[in-house]
Amino acid sequence: MKAAILILSDPRSGSEEALGRAFNALAAAHDFKQRGDEVTLLFHGAGTRWIGELEKSDHPAHGLYSEVKDKVAGISCGCADVFGGADEAKKSGLDLITDNPVPGTSGLPSLRNLMSEGFSILTF
C-alpha cells in the first residue's frame, strides 16, 4: 500500500475537532509505517500552521508526531505563505514543497504526481 496523508485542519480554530483531525492523521501515518507500508505526510492549507504546535514538546500530539516525523514529505510552500506558517516551517527544517506551480503562489505539492505514483490520498 501507498498512502499520502494531508493535514488540512487549522490549529487556530480552537476546536477539539481540529486537534482530532491532526491526531488521527498522525495515527494513520503511524499505522501505515508500523505495517511497513509506504506512507508520506504533507501539511497543506491552514494545516501548515501545525508544525509550530507539533514541534512543542508539551503538545499532546508531540510524541506521535515525533514517531512519524521521518515520514513527513514536507510543507506546502504556497500554503505556508498564505496561512502564515512559513516562519515555523523554515525553523522545522522540513522541506517546503513547490512542485505544483500554482499561479500567484510560490508553489504547492502536486497531488497529481502522488496519484500517478500510486498513492491513495487521505485528507484530515
108-121 per-position pLDDT tens digit: 999 999 999 999 99
How would residue 85 be classed by pLDDT, with cut points 50, 70 and 90? Answer: confident
What superfamily would CATH give domain 2-123? DsrEFH-like (3.40.1260.10)
Average pLDDT of the segment spanning 13-37:
96
Average pLDDT of the segment spanning 34-51:
97
Q: What is the pLDDT of residue 14?
A: 84
Mean pLDDT of the chain: 95
Which of 99, 53, 56 is closest to 76 using CA atoms?
A: 99
Strand locations in 35-109, DSSP E? 38-43, 72-76, 96-97
Asked if the model's pLDDT at residue 88 lies above 90, the reply is: no
- Beta-carbon contacts of residue 70 (< 8 Å; ≥ 6 apart): none
CB-CB neighbours of 31 under 10 Å: 13
**Cα–Cα distances in angstroms (integers) from residue 63 to residues 42, 69, 87, in the given order:** 18, 10, 22
Structural domain boundaries in the chain: 2-123
The model's pTM is 0.93
